Chains A and B, each alone.
Chain A
Amino acid sequence: MSEEIRCLLELQHLDYMIKDWRNTEMRREFKKIGFQTAEDPVEMLLKKREELVKKISPVLYQMYQRIISRYNDWAIVPVLNGFCGGCFSKVPTELSGQRGAVHNCPNCGRFIYWD
Protein backbone atom coordinates (compact mmCIF):
# COMPACT_ATOMS: atom_id res chain seq x y z
CA MET A 1 0.00 0.00 0.00
CA SER A 2 1.46 3.36 -0.99
CA GLU A 3 1.87 6.20 1.48
CA GLU A 4 -0.72 8.27 -0.43
CA ILE A 5 -3.31 5.51 -0.22
CA ARG A 6 -2.55 5.04 3.44
CA CYS A 7 -3.08 8.79 4.10
CA LEU A 8 -6.35 8.80 2.17
CA LEU A 9 -7.55 5.82 4.18
CA GLU A 10 -6.61 7.53 7.40
CA LEU A 11 -8.44 10.65 6.29
CA GLN A 12 -11.52 8.61 5.51
CA HIS A 13 -11.44 7.01 8.96
CA LEU A 14 -10.96 10.36 10.62
CA ASP A 15 -13.95 11.74 8.73
CA TYR A 16 -16.14 8.89 9.98
CA MET A 17 -15.05 9.72 13.51
CA ILE A 18 -15.76 13.43 13.09
CA LYS A 19 -19.21 12.59 11.78
CA ASP A 20 -19.92 10.45 14.86
CA TRP A 21 -18.68 13.09 17.29
CA ARG A 22 -20.88 15.69 15.63
CA ASN A 23 -23.88 13.47 16.25
CA THR A 24 -25.54 14.64 19.47
CA GLU A 25 -27.34 11.34 20.06
CA MET A 26 -24.02 9.56 19.91
CA ARG A 27 -22.38 12.06 22.27
CA ARG A 28 -25.21 11.61 24.75
CA GLU A 29 -24.81 7.82 24.69
CA PHE A 30 -21.04 8.10 25.12
CA LYS A 31 -21.60 10.21 28.20
CA LYS A 32 -24.19 7.81 29.57
CA ILE A 33 -21.79 4.89 29.16
CA GLY A 34 -19.23 6.79 31.19
CA PHE A 35 -16.58 7.63 28.62
CA GLN A 36 -14.62 10.60 29.82
CA THR A 37 -14.13 12.95 26.90
CA ALA A 38 -11.99 15.91 26.01
CA GLU A 39 -13.79 19.23 26.16
CA ASP A 40 -14.00 19.66 22.41
CA PRO A 41 -13.33 16.36 20.67
CA VAL A 42 -14.46 17.64 17.27
CA GLU A 43 -11.98 20.48 17.45
CA MET A 44 -9.22 17.99 18.35
CA LEU A 45 -10.14 15.78 15.43
CA LEU A 46 -10.25 18.70 13.02
CA LYS A 47 -6.72 19.62 14.07
CA LYS A 48 -5.57 16.08 13.40
CA ARG A 49 -7.32 16.26 10.05
CA GLU A 50 -5.50 19.46 9.15
CA GLU A 51 -2.17 17.79 9.90
CA LEU A 52 -3.06 14.77 7.84
CA VAL A 53 -4.26 16.84 4.86
CA LYS A 54 -0.82 18.45 4.71
CA LYS A 55 0.60 15.05 3.82
CA ILE A 56 -1.75 14.61 0.86
CA SER A 57 -1.18 16.30 -2.49
CA PRO A 58 -3.73 19.09 -3.15
CA VAL A 59 -4.91 17.37 -6.33
CA LEU A 60 -5.71 14.13 -4.51
CA TYR A 61 -7.30 16.00 -1.63
CA GLN A 62 -9.60 17.94 -3.94
CA MET A 63 -10.52 14.70 -5.63
CA TYR A 64 -11.27 13.15 -2.23
CA GLN A 65 -13.53 16.04 -1.27
CA ARG A 66 -15.34 15.84 -4.59
CA ILE A 67 -15.93 12.09 -4.28
CA ILE A 68 -17.14 12.37 -0.68
CA SER A 69 -19.60 15.15 -1.46
CA ARG A 70 -20.89 13.18 -4.43
CA TYR A 71 -21.46 9.83 -2.69
CA ASN A 72 -21.60 10.81 0.96
CA ASP A 73 -20.30 7.39 2.01
CA TRP A 74 -16.74 6.45 1.16
CA ALA A 75 -14.16 7.89 -1.16
CA ILE A 76 -11.64 5.10 -1.03
CA VAL A 77 -12.50 1.44 -1.37
CA PRO A 78 -10.65 -1.86 -1.71
CA VAL A 79 -10.76 -3.93 -4.87
CA LEU A 80 -12.37 -7.22 -3.88
CA ASN A 81 -11.84 -10.20 -6.19
CA GLY A 82 -11.36 -7.78 -9.08
CA PHE A 83 -14.46 -5.71 -8.32
CA CYS A 84 -14.68 -2.15 -7.02
CA GLY A 85 -15.74 -2.21 -3.35
CA GLY A 86 -17.87 0.91 -3.91
CA CYS A 87 -19.94 0.27 -7.04
CA PHE A 88 -19.15 -3.45 -7.53
CA SER A 89 -18.22 -3.04 -11.20
CA LYS A 90 -15.28 -4.97 -12.64
CA VAL A 91 -11.96 -3.18 -12.37
CA PRO A 92 -9.86 -3.53 -15.57
CA THR A 93 -7.10 -6.06 -14.93
CA GLU A 94 -4.40 -3.79 -16.40
CA LEU A 95 -4.88 -1.43 -13.42
CA SER A 96 -3.99 -4.12 -10.92
CA GLY A 97 -0.55 -4.30 -12.54
CA GLN A 98 0.28 -0.90 -11.03
CA ARG A 99 -0.89 -1.48 -7.48
CA GLY A 100 1.44 1.02 -5.90
CA ALA A 101 -0.06 3.96 -7.81
CA VAL A 102 -3.27 5.78 -6.91
CA HIS A 103 -6.15 4.76 -9.18
CA ASN A 104 -9.79 5.65 -9.50
CA CYS A 105 -12.53 3.21 -10.38
CA PRO A 106 -13.33 3.87 -14.07
CA ASN A 107 -17.02 3.44 -13.32
CA CYS A 108 -17.71 5.39 -10.09
CA GLY A 109 -14.52 7.43 -9.71
CA ARG A 110 -13.79 6.38 -6.12
CA PHE A 111 -10.19 5.78 -5.17
CA ILE A 112 -9.41 2.09 -5.29
CA TYR A 113 -6.67 0.06 -3.65
CA TRP A 114 -5.65 -3.55 -3.57
CA ASP A 115 -5.74 -5.29 -0.24
Chain B
Amino acid sequence: MNLYNLLKPECINLSLSARKKKDVLLELMGCIRKDKDSDLLVSTLLKREELGSTGIGKGVAIPHGRSLVADKLEVVVGRSDAGVEFNAIDKQPVHLFFLIVAPPQDPGNQYLITLGRVAVICQELLKSKLYEKPQTPEEFIALVKEIEDGL
Protein backbone atom coordinates (compact mmCIF):
# COMPACT_ATOMS: atom_id res chain seq x y z
CA MET B 1 0.00 0.00 0.00
CA ASN B 2 1.01 3.62 -0.47
CA LEU B 3 0.29 6.20 2.18
CA TYR B 4 0.24 9.16 -0.17
CA ASN B 5 -2.88 7.75 -1.83
CA LEU B 6 -4.72 8.12 1.47
CA LEU B 7 -3.65 11.72 2.02
CA LYS B 8 -5.97 14.54 1.06
CA PRO B 9 -4.97 18.22 1.08
CA GLU B 10 -8.02 19.12 3.19
CA CYS B 11 -6.86 16.62 5.82
CA ILE B 12 -3.45 18.19 6.22
CA ASN B 13 -3.00 21.08 8.63
CA LEU B 14 0.54 22.44 8.58
CA SER B 15 -0.05 25.14 11.16
CA LEU B 16 -1.77 23.61 14.16
CA SER B 17 -2.58 26.14 16.83
CA ALA B 18 -3.44 23.77 19.73
CA ARG B 19 -0.82 23.27 22.44
CA LYS B 20 -2.51 20.56 24.52
CA LYS B 21 -3.44 16.94 23.94
CA LYS B 22 -7.22 17.17 23.84
CA ASP B 23 -7.20 20.41 21.88
CA VAL B 24 -4.88 19.06 19.24
CA LEU B 25 -7.01 15.93 18.80
CA LEU B 26 -10.07 18.14 18.34
CA GLU B 27 -8.22 20.31 15.87
CA LEU B 28 -7.07 17.28 13.87
CA MET B 29 -10.55 15.73 13.96
CA GLY B 30 -11.94 19.02 12.70
CA CYS B 31 -10.44 18.20 9.30
CA ILE B 32 -12.80 15.25 8.88
CA ARG B 33 -15.82 15.92 11.09
CA LYS B 34 -17.11 19.09 12.57
CA ASP B 35 -20.22 17.80 14.34
CA LYS B 36 -20.74 16.46 17.84
CA ASP B 37 -19.54 13.01 16.78
CA SER B 38 -16.01 14.31 16.74
CA ASP B 39 -16.34 14.79 20.48
CA LEU B 40 -17.12 11.10 20.91
CA LEU B 41 -14.17 10.14 18.77
CA VAL B 42 -11.85 12.41 20.68
CA SER B 43 -12.96 10.78 23.93
CA THR B 44 -12.10 7.40 22.37
CA LEU B 45 -8.70 8.69 21.26
CA LEU B 46 -8.03 10.01 24.74
CA LYS B 47 -8.88 6.63 26.27
CA ARG B 48 -6.36 5.12 23.91
CA GLU B 49 -3.74 7.64 25.05
CA GLU B 50 -4.37 6.64 28.67
CA LEU B 51 -3.11 3.13 27.86
CA GLY B 52 0.19 4.64 26.79
CA SER B 53 0.98 7.67 24.70
CA THR B 54 1.05 7.28 20.93
CA GLY B 55 3.84 9.83 20.94
CA ILE B 56 6.65 7.57 19.75
CA GLY B 57 9.42 10.09 20.30
CA LYS B 58 11.49 12.57 18.28
CA GLY B 59 8.47 14.81 17.94
CA VAL B 60 6.10 12.32 16.28
CA ALA B 61 2.73 10.99 17.44
CA ILE B 62 0.31 8.58 15.77
CA PRO B 63 -3.02 8.81 17.60
CA HIS B 64 -5.53 6.25 16.34
CA GLY B 65 -8.90 4.70 16.95
CA ARG B 66 -11.87 2.90 15.52
CA SER B 67 -15.29 4.40 15.36
CA LEU B 68 -18.63 3.80 13.77
CA VAL B 69 -18.69 7.48 12.87
CA ALA B 70 -15.96 6.71 10.33
CA ASP B 71 -17.30 5.05 7.21
CA LYS B 72 -13.84 4.57 5.77
CA LEU B 73 -10.24 4.78 6.89
CA GLU B 74 -9.04 8.37 7.18
CA VAL B 75 -5.60 9.83 7.78
CA VAL B 76 -5.14 13.38 9.05
CA VAL B 77 -1.74 15.05 9.18
CA GLY B 78 -0.93 17.91 11.51
CA ARG B 79 2.22 19.92 12.02
CA SER B 80 2.94 22.24 14.88
CA ASP B 81 5.93 24.57 14.88
CA ALA B 82 5.57 25.35 18.57
CA GLY B 83 5.05 21.72 19.56
CA VAL B 84 2.33 20.02 21.59
CA GLU B 85 2.67 18.53 25.06
CA PHE B 86 1.63 14.93 24.34
CA ASN B 87 3.28 12.91 27.08
CA ALA B 88 5.49 11.28 24.46
CA ILE B 89 7.86 8.44 25.29
CA ASP B 90 10.86 10.84 25.33
CA LYS B 91 8.82 13.60 27.05
CA GLN B 92 9.56 15.92 24.13
CA PRO B 93 6.83 18.05 22.54
CA VAL B 94 5.24 16.66 19.40
CA HIS B 95 5.58 18.51 16.11
CA LEU B 96 4.20 15.99 13.64
CA PHE B 97 0.90 14.11 13.97
CA PHE B 98 -0.62 11.36 11.90
CA LEU B 99 -4.14 10.69 13.12
CA ILE B 100 -5.71 7.47 11.88
CA VAL B 101 -9.43 6.78 12.19
CA ALA B 102 -10.90 3.51 10.98
CA PRO B 103 -14.33 1.92 10.85
CA PRO B 104 -14.85 -1.07 13.17
CA GLN B 105 -15.37 -3.50 10.29
CA ASP B 106 -12.11 -3.74 8.41
CA PRO B 107 -11.85 -6.96 6.38
CA GLY B 108 -8.45 -6.29 4.74
CA ASN B 109 -6.89 -5.22 8.03
CA GLN B 110 -6.21 -1.87 6.42
CA TYR B 111 -6.06 -0.18 9.81
CA LEU B 112 -3.09 -2.16 11.01
CA ILE B 113 -1.31 -2.00 7.68
CA THR B 114 -1.73 1.79 7.56
CA LEU B 115 -0.45 2.19 11.12
CA GLY B 116 2.68 0.25 10.23
CA ARG B 117 3.17 2.20 7.03
CA VAL B 118 2.78 5.54 8.78
CA ALA B 119 5.42 4.53 11.33
CA VAL B 120 7.89 3.71 8.53
CA ILE B 121 7.22 6.97 6.67
CA CYS B 122 7.57 8.96 9.90
CA GLN B 123 11.09 7.65 10.36
CA GLU B 124 11.94 8.87 6.87
CA LEU B 125 10.26 12.25 7.45
CA LEU B 126 12.36 12.71 10.55
CA LYS B 127 15.60 12.43 8.63
CA SER B 128 17.07 15.96 8.51
CA LYS B 129 13.63 17.12 9.63
CA LEU B 130 12.25 16.69 6.11
CA TYR B 131 8.72 17.17 7.42
CA GLU B 132 9.49 20.83 8.16
CA LYS B 133 10.06 21.65 4.50
CA PRO B 134 6.63 21.49 2.81
CA GLN B 135 4.81 24.82 2.72
CA THR B 136 1.49 23.51 1.45
CA PRO B 137 -0.54 20.29 1.90
CA GLU B 138 0.12 19.46 -1.74
CA GLU B 139 3.86 19.73 -1.16
CA PHE B 140 3.53 17.49 1.88
CA ILE B 141 1.76 14.80 -0.17
CA ALA B 142 4.42 15.13 -2.89
CA LEU B 143 7.12 14.65 -0.27
CA VAL B 144 5.46 11.48 1.06
CA LYS B 145 5.14 10.20 -2.50
CA GLU B 146 8.80 10.92 -3.16
CA ILE B 147 9.77 9.01 0.00
CA GLU B 148 7.55 6.07 -0.91
CA ASP B 149 8.84 5.95 -4.48
CA GLY B 150 12.34 5.70 -3.07
CA LEU B 151 11.62 2.91 -0.58
Number of residue pairs A-B, CB distance < 8 angstroms = 74
A29 close to B116 (CB less than 8 A): yes
Chain B residues positioned under 8 Å from A21 (CB to CB): 51
Tell me, in angstroms, the Cα distance from A18 to B148 when the chains sit together: 33
Q: Mark B81-115, 1 if CB is under 8 A from A, else 0.
A: 00000000100000000000000110000001001
For the complex, is B134 an interface residue (Cβ under 8 Å from A)? Answer: no
For the complex, is B37 an interface residue (Cβ under 8 Å from A)? Answer: yes
In whole Å, how far is B149's beta carbon from the nearest beta carbon of chain A? 23
- If A16-B66, A16-B104 touch, does A35 touch B56 (CB 8 Å cutoff)? yes
Contact among A9, A17, A77, A115 for B66, CB-based, below 8 A: A17
A interface: dominant SS: helix
Q: Mark A19-43, 1 if CB is under 8 A from B, else 0.
A: 0110001100110111111100100
Chain A residues positioned under 8 Å from B43 (CB to CB): 10, 13
In whole Å, how far is A26's beta carbon from the nearest beta carbon of chain B? 6
For the complex, is B40 an interface residue (Cβ under 8 Å from A)? Answer: yes
In whole Å, how far is A86's beta carbon from the nearest beta carbon of chain B? 10
Q: Mark B19-41, 1 if CB is under 8 A from A, else 0.
A: 00000000000000001110010
Nearest-neighbor residue (CB-CB) of A75 within chain B: B68
- If A34-B89, A73-B105 touch, does A17 touch B65 (CB 8 Å cutoff)? yes
Q: Which 8 A-B pairs have the closest CB atoms?
A: A37-B52, A34-B56, A33-B119, A41-B51, A13-B44, A16-B66, A36-B52, A36-B89
Binding site for B on A (CB under 8 A): 1, 6, 9-10, 12-14, 16-17, 20-21, 25-26, 29-30, 32-38, 41, 44-45, 48, 73-74, 76-78, 85, 115
